[in-house]
Structure 1
Amino acid sequence: MPFFFFFYLLFLYTLHRHALPTNAATAPDETAALLAIKSSLIDPLGALQNWKSNPGMPHCNWTGVQCDTKGTVIGLNLSNYNLSGTISDDILLLSNLSSLKICSNAFSDTLPAALTGLTSLKFLDVSVNNFDGQFPVGFGSFLQLTYLNASGNYFEGPLPADIGSANALEILDFRGGFFTGSIPASYRGLQKLKFLGLSGNKLTGTLPKELFELSSLEQLIIGYNEFEGPIPADIANLTKLQYLDMVVGNLNGPIPPEIGKLKMLNTIFLYKNSLGGDIPKEIGNLSSLVMLDLSVNMITGVIPPEIALLSNLQRLNLMSNRLKGTVPNGIGDLPQLEVLLLWNNSLTGPLPASLGKNSPLQWLDVSTNALSGEIPAGLCQGGNLTKLILFSNAFTGPIPVGLTTCMPLVRMRMHNNQLNGTVPGGFGKLPRLQRLELSGNELTGEIPDDISLSTSLSFIDLSRNQLQSRLPSCILSIPSLQSFMAADNELTGGVPGELQNCPSMSTLDLSNNRLEGTIPSSLASCARLVSLSLRNNHFTGSIPPSIAMMPTLSILDLSNNFLTGSIPSNFGSSPALEMLNLAYNNLSGPVPSTTLLRTINPDDLAGNPGLCGGVLPPCSGATGMLESPSGFRWADMRHVAAGWAIGFVIGFVIGLFREII
């Protein structure tokens, strides 16, 4: 009996199995649904060209289609195909769809309401499209949804409050839209949420207490909004938080010391708010911290020495605050420090002597403070320094020679300090150096010849020092050089004539020196020169006519020299020339009647007693030899006229005498 009962059960099982619908039976329905979806799309790249009825290629092999082992569609990935058009309601026929990715396309209008019917979805990504209008209600009922990304669209209106019921969510990303209002209190229900991205919207109000009940949060990115008020002490509840971004808003009040309890934090970005008070010393407890940016706030007090305990810190940015006191010496010993930005504060005292010696320092900017002492000698000892920005302080002593072998260096800005000694040789051999700014110091001696060898320098400013040498012969022919300024020194000699190759030069300022000789006509080969100042030197000779027609020259100052001769007749006819100063030379003759010189300020021609005409008193006597259009001078014309008159009188008398006879 049991034997027959076994066969009876086997028969019933077989009968039941054949009675159930198979996946082969549902496949045509899903194929038809996919083809209907395709028909409503615009596919400019032909990415879906293999979506067509073909027994040899089932729909599970189509581009972007994912099936399970039974052949049922469970995923669609149509990302990055520049698709547009509409999402057909036929998508609802894919009832087992658990993943839908249509990001980085060109879809527009509102998000299709049909998507709210795909209740099996676990993963939804509609980011980086042109969807607009309000985000649809309905996704809050998706109890399996763990990932929702709608960033990079034009959604507006309030954040969808019903999302707070989708309590399986781990990733919620609404960044880069136009959402308004506050963060819904209902979001407290998202207790599994690890990532919350709301940055780059128009959200307002204070930070709600419900936000700090999300104990699973690892990344909180809500910057670039208009949140106001303080950061609450309840932030200490987010014990799993690793990444905190509340930048560019209206947050005020102090940074709560409770932030020091978030031992897993590796990034704190709070820049560009209105935060005040002191930097809490408890930040020193954040041993995992890699990035700390509190810049552009109203933070006061000193830099807490506890920051030196952050052995993993790579980036420290405290610029544009109201900090005072010294830079803690321990910061120089941070082993991972790459970026230190402290500019625009009121810091005093020296920089840590060990700065750069034991770390991969890449970028140091402490400009616009009141720092003093010598520049640390080992700033580039790690061999990574690319930007060194120390201007507007009170640094003294010589320029560290070690910087001349700092091969990665791109910018060196040390102007407006009290540096002394000479400019060390070697900067011209640095292969990446683009800016060398040493103006406003007390440097003496020569400009090193090797600077002329540079193939990368584009900006050199040595102005307002006590340099006494001649200009290196080829320094103005550096092919990449755009600006060279050495004004207010004691330079001697002349302007180097080696200017056949200055393709990039736009600014040349050699004013207030002791330069002499003639102005080389080869300056005209600098076809992109916009501003040329040679004022207050000892130049002699005439003004080269070739300079008058330089195609881009806008500012020309040759005042306070010993130039002679006349103003070239074509001066001021170039449409680019807007400012011309020739005052206090020994120029003579008539002022040409070009457009610029007809309206020039007389002060810009003053101190040349031999000049006349135009905006100056008219020419007369010996100084009034104005040129006629044919090239004859008026004085010569008077002689011709007088001779003609005398001849006429003599002829008349002879004729009259013959009449009498």
Structure 2
Amino acid sequence: MHRVMSLVERFDMMEPKWVWILLAVLVIEGWYQTEGCLEHERVALFQLKSFFDDPSSLQDWVDVKGSHCCQWDGVKCSTTSGRVIQLSLNDTRQWKKDRYDVYLNASLFFPFKELKSLYLVGNRIAGFVDNEGIAKLSSELKKLEILDLSGNQLNDSILSSLSELSSLKSLLLASNHLTGSDHRNGFKWLSRLSNLETLDLSWNHLKNNILLHVGHLSSLKTLNLAENQLEGSVNIKELSRLRKLRNLDLHYNEIETFGSYSFEDSGRQVMMSLEELDLSGNLLLNSSFAFISRLSNLKSLSIADNKLQGCIDIKELNKLAKLKMLDLRYNQIESLRSFDDSNRLLKLMNLEQLDLSDNPLNNTRLGVLSGLSNLKSLSLGSSQLKGSINIKEFANLKKLKSVDLYRVFSDGTVSLLQVVKGFPSVKTFYLYNNYLNKTISTKELENVSTNVQEISVFNSHMSHNILESIGALTSLRQLTLSNSWLTGPLPSKGWCDLWNLEELDLSGNTIEGSIPSCFSNLISLRLLDISNNHIEVPSSFIPFANNSLLKYLLMDQIHLGLCKELPNFLYDQYDLRYLDLSDNNFGGQSPSWLLENNTRLQQIFMAGNSFKGPLQLPKHANVNIFEVDMSGNKMQGQVPMNICSTFPHLKSFSLSKNGFEGNIPSCFGGLKSLLWLDLSHNNFSGGIMEELTNSNSLETLRLSSNNLSGTIPPSVFSSTERLYLDGNNFHGEIPKIDISISFPFLSDMDLSNNHLSGKLPRWIWNASRLEALVLSNNLFDGHIPLELCNLNSLRFLDLSWNNLSGSVPSCISSLTIEHLHLSRNRLSGPLPRALHSSSSLVAFHMKRLNLGRLMKAATWETLFFVDLQNMKVAPKLVRPGYPQMPLAAKKKAIGWTWMPSMGLSGFVTELC
């Protein structure tokens, strides 16, 4: 604004012609603030869309002249020039089975002269078009600083081109096919990137020699080589030139040692500027600390999930004086101590986070931690400490604010208050999976901490008098005691003294009776979860009347007995955000008043009750609600046609298992945020209107078990991921889909129990993401297409109760099918022999088929159920001989077989 005012003042002093000349120069130079992006860049962006063609992405990239492309998804423009400076095109390439090797024309980015950041993650790019390689970007995009090509199909051949991008500061190539073995000069060429500060090569197939190659990138500050194939002895000295290196990530390799490391290399110290080092998930032993302890500037160190064991010498650790975070999880450490007894305490004065969880720690040696005067977070989880903690050992940890003690106390000799008193400065306790069932004594209530604000106990055994004693912790704001074996009635004293309590979770216990009147003291309560208990109604809810701050209320499955009405206290709530009243016995009309009173309500769950009558909506739209579940009630009538305008931002909506009838409102297709629509198990009639399937966001459409009829529109198959139309009256053929225009993303599809006919369309077998396909109990005929072989992800296939003929495709043996149902068809011929060695089959249903031979079943290792009832098989199935063990006994993995009415004689000796 100051700059604009100074220009205005200058304009007053200039002649008119010079004013116009200056304005023209400013526009040409791009200083002048534009209202939209430049037209040639808008056109160039739309040309990009032909390559980045995922229909669920870049939906607002439209070829309309004058449209403001700076507001398009993934586009960021300069606030002064209006030029595109960032493109985020992650996961925008449509995935197809036959499009693994995708080559990108880099010249498509040439128009974006001001581009600084380009993100192309997860687009299966294998390289760049010949003569239009990415190397040419260096001459066109001279300001490009960040290039992210992670999650593609690139190999070492791309490196020579990347080395031309001299302006790069950040290069990310994670999750590609880099090996470092072919095109060896490629990594050497990367040394040309003299400005490169961040290099991510994680999740590739790189070997130890990669350290030599990247050791020439002298400007590097961050290097990520995690999840590669570095192994054995690694020569860390190769990184001696990286004087600026601050962050090194080597996690999840197979590094055992750092070789004959020397910290002096031609007068240069190795990685002495390093501040963050991640070595987790390797094979390092205790001796590795001899190397690590020399990295005196380290602030963050993780050696989790290695081979550390026994005693760790704190003399080496104490050399890391600047360390703020130390992660030693998932090892076999028993204690930390000084081997020469020169120092008995761990003196890392700057250490703020320490994680020793999942180690077999000896609690008698925990005193070594008492010197960590700046420690804020401590995790000792899953260490199986026995007995009480010595309070004096932690008296000096005055800055400790959070402790994680999951699965630590196993013998029931410690109470919750003992633990709290052991850490007097701590505000947050995590105490999952413990035995804290020692009865709390009156003495333990004395001098208890007033600092604790959050206690989370889950799946633990608690003392029966914990609620009577917890009131001593007057500073508590969050209390979780879920699944903690609390039984009987709630006490009328103690816990009701928690005036500051904001969140209370007592779910998953067997609490019974009424909530005491003193509950009204909890006037600060914002979240209450009493689900899965035996609370009485309505008297128990009288104390809720004063809780006007409640925002999140969960009282599902509280076993209300004969109560039919919603608790009266709900009439006094006006600021609820989350309400769960599921699986109770509430009745009456659908409570539209709840929605009218609570205009900020976002999620409401009232499934499994007895609400009846029509669905009543609030008088005014609720723009905050995004999830509604009213399934499993007794409501009926038609769904109001204004439901979409009432809830315009729905993401999940379920009215299943009611008695609704009439047509399904087509307006659901216009809800831009709708992900889940479940109207199953009702009496809806009519067909599926095209408007319903126009949604670009809908992932799950469940219309099972209604009275829908007519033909199925083609758009329904290409607009959803999970489609359930079973149990209706649809007829005709499954429509054809041009997958070159609209590729289906189906993962689950159930069209069973309809009247569909014709041949199985071949496009289904090109929906390569399919995991479950159920077409049973229809009128399909013809052969099972060979394209079945394309379904590499298929786990469940049910084609039973149709009129299919021919043989079973031999490729079925190579698939990962776990449940195969082919019963009640007219299939014939031998089953594929390779199917006998299937390692994935769990259930195998083949009733009433006319197959020539069966396979040997003795190699089925996972099969649990076999149904061969009324099958006609070749005589080779049996032969006379001595009695043999029945089929079920041949393999323990086979849990049940059903083979009656096969007309067999003799004894089963093998299935040929």
The two structures have a TM-score, normalised by structure 2, of: 0.50
Distance 2:900 2:481 in 1: 58
Aligned to 2:464: 133
Identity of aligned residues (%): 23
Q: Which amino acid aligns with 1:579?
A: M
Shift of 1:337: 1.2
Distance 1:324 1:108 in 2: 54
Q: Is the 8 A contact 1:485 1:508 kept in 2?
A: yes
Residues 421-443 of structure 1 show CA distances to partners (whole Å, capped at 9, x for unaligned) of 32110333333323222122233
Distance 2:419 2:900 in 1: 72
Q: Which residue, out of 203, 216, 234, partners 2:549? A: 216
Specify whether residues 575 and 444 from structure 1 end up closer, same or farther in structure 2 by C-alpha distance, changes over 3 A only. Answer: closer
Distance 1:92 1:461 in 2: 57
> Which consecutive unaligned segments of at least 5 residues does structure 1 have?
1-41, 549-566, 596-661
Specify whether residues 167 and 475 from structure 1 end up closer, same or farther in structure 2 by C-alpha distance, changes over 3 A only. Answer: same
Q: Which residue, out of 120, 131, 152, partners 2:450? A: 120
Aligned to 1:359: 696
Aligned to 2:74: none
Q: Which secondary structure state, in structure 1, belongs to the residue aligned with residue 692 of structure 2?
A: coil
Q: Does 1:322 align with 2:636?
A: no
Specify whether residues 323 and 568 from structure 1 end up closer, same or farther in structure 2 by C-alpha distance, changes over 3 A only. Answer: farther
Aligned to 1:30: none
Q: Which secondary structure state, in structure 2, belongs to the residue aligned with residue 580 of structure 1?
A: coil
Aligned to 2:44: none
RMSD: 3.8
Q: Is the 8 A contact 2:784 2:809 kept in 1?
A: no
Moved more, 527-536 or 177-186: 527-536
Distance 1:452 1:499 in 2: 14
Residues 14-54 of structure 1 show CA distances to partners (whole Å, capped at 9, x for unaligned) of xxxxxxxxxxxxxxxxxxxxxxxxxxxx9954589553497
Aligned to 1:643: none
Specify whether residues 371 and 199 from structure 1 end up closer, same or farther in structure 2 by C-alpha distance, changes over 3 A only. Answer: same
Moved more, 278-287 or 431-440: 278-287
Map 1:307-346 onto structure 2 (within 5 A): 307-309=643-645, 310-346=647-683
Aligned to 1:396: 731
Q: Which amino acid aligns with 1:125?
A: I
Q: Does 1:147 align with 2:478?
A: yes
Q: Is the 8 A contact 1:339 1:364 kept in 2?
A: yes
Q: Is the 8 A contact 2:717 2:744 kept in 1?
A: no
Specify whether residues 447 and 575 from structure 1 end up closer, same or farther in structure 2 by C-alpha distance, changes over 3 A only. Answer: closer
Q: Does 1:205 align with 2:537?
A: yes
Aligned to 1:167: 499
Q: Is the 8 A contact 1:284 1:308 kept in 2?
A: no
Moved more, 570-579 or 248-257: 570-579
Distance 1:582 1:233 in 2: 65
Q: Is the 8 A contact 2:846 2:868 kept in 1?
A: yes
Q: Which secondary structure state, in structure 2, belongs to the residue aligned with residue 51 of structure 1?
A: helix
Aligned to 1:252: 587
Specify whether residues 436 and 145 from structure 1 end up closer, same or farther in structure 2 by C-alpha distance, changes over 3 A only. Answer: closer
Distance 2:726 2:644 in 1: 25
Q: Is the 8 A contact 1:463 1:487 kept in 2?
A: yes
Q: Is the 8 A contact 1:217 1:240 kept in 2?
A: yes
Q: Which amino acid aligns with 2:448?
A: L
Q: Is the 8 A contact 1:260 1:283 kept in 2?
A: no
Shift of 1:543: 0.8
Shift of 1:240: 1.4
Q: Which amino acid aligns with 1:218?
A: K
Moved more, 500-509 or 427-436: 500-509
Q: Which residue, out of 513, 516, 521, partners 1:184? A: 516
Residues 174-218 of structure 1 show CA distances to partners (whole Å, capped at 9, x for unaligned) of 222222112233323333211112122222222624424421111
Distance 1:390 1:220 in 2: 34
Aligned to 1:22: none
> Which consecutive unaligned segments of at least 5 residues does structure 2 have?
1-357, 380-390, 889-896
Map 1:379-528 onto structure 2 (within 5 A): 379-382=716-719, 385-402=720-737, 408-467=745-804, 469-471=805-807, 473-474=809-810, 476-489=812-825, 494-499=829-834, 502-503=837-838, 504-505=840-841, 506-509=843-846, 511=848, 519-520=852-853, 522=855, 527=860
Q: Does 1:82 align with 2:82?
A: no
Q: Is the 8 A contact 1:159 1:179 kept in 2?
A: yes
Specify whether residues 53 and 348 from structure 1 end up closer, same or farther in structure 2 by C-alpha distance, changes over 3 A only. Answer: closer
Q: Which secondary structure state, in structure 1, belongs to the residue aligned with residue 900 of structure 2?
A: strand
Q: Which residue, out of 561, 564, 581, partners 1:229? A: 564
Shift of 1:233: 6.3
Map 1:55-66 onto structure 2 (within 5 A): 57=371, 59=373, 61=375, 64=378
Shift of 1:343: 1.9
Q: Which residue, out of 570, 576, 580, partners 2:900? A: 580
Aligned to 2:30: none
Distance 1:118 1:435 in 2: 57
Q: Which amino acid aligns with 2:796?
A: F
Map 1:501-650 onto structure 2 (within 5 A): 502-503=837-838, 504-505=840-841, 506-509=843-846, 511=848, 519-520=852-853, 522=855, 527=860, 530-531=865-866, 533=868, 535=870, 542-544=874-876, 547-548=877-878, 568-569=880-881, 573-576=885-888, 579-583=899-903, 591-592=905-906
Shift of 1:252: 2.2
Q: Which amino acid aligns with 1:265?
A: L
Distance 1:62 1:443 in 2: 66
Structure having greater relative contact order (Cα 8 Å, sep ≥ 6): 1
Q: Which secondary structure state, in structure 2, belongs to the residue aligned with residue 281 of structure 1?
A: coil
Q: Is the 8 A contact 1:235 1:258 kept in 2?
A: no
Q: Is the 8 A contact 2:531 2:556 kept in 1?
A: yes
Q: Which secondary structure state, in structure 1, belongs to the residue aligned with residue 558 of structure 2?
A: coil
Distance 2:369 2:405 in 1: 24
Residues 484-513 of structure 1 show CA distances to partners (whole Å, capped at 9, x for unaligned) of 44444455x62355546551454242636x
Specify whether residues 284 and 569 from structure 1 end up closer, same or farther in structure 2 by C-alpha distance, changes over 3 A only. Answer: farther
Q: Is the 8 A contact 1:255 1:276 kept in 2?
A: yes
Specify whether residues 273 and 115 from structure 1 end up closer, same or farther in structure 2 by C-alpha distance, changes over 3 A only. Answer: farther
Q: Does 1:51 align with 2:367?
A: yes
Moved more, 337-346 or 224-233: 224-233
Aligned to 1:301: 637
Distance 2:373 2:737 in 1: 66
Distance 1:86 1:331 in 2: 56
Q: Is the 8 A contact 2:376 2:399 kept in 1?
A: no
Q: Is the 8 A contact 1:132 1:153 kept in 2?
A: no
Specify whether residues 256 and 378 from structure 1 end up closer, same or farther in structure 2 by C-alpha distance, changes over 3 A only. Answer: same
Q: Which secondary structure state, in structure 1, belongs to the residue aligned with residue 520 of structure 2?
A: helix
Shift of 1:110: 4.3
Specify whether residues 522 and 173 from structure 1 end up closer, same or farther in structure 2 by C-alpha distance, changes over 3 A only. Answer: closer
Q: Is the 8 A contact 2:668 2:692 kept in 1?
A: yes
The two structures have a TM-score, normalised by structure 1, of: 0.68
Whichever of the two has the greater Rg, that structure is 1
Q: Which secondary structure state, in structure 2, belongs to the residue aligned with residue 285 of structure 1?
A: coil
Residues 534-576 of structure 1 show CA distances to partners (whole Å, capped at 9, x for unaligned) of 8577x7xx511xx34xxxxxxxxxxxxxxxxxx6446875252
Distance 2:685 2:866 in 1: 38
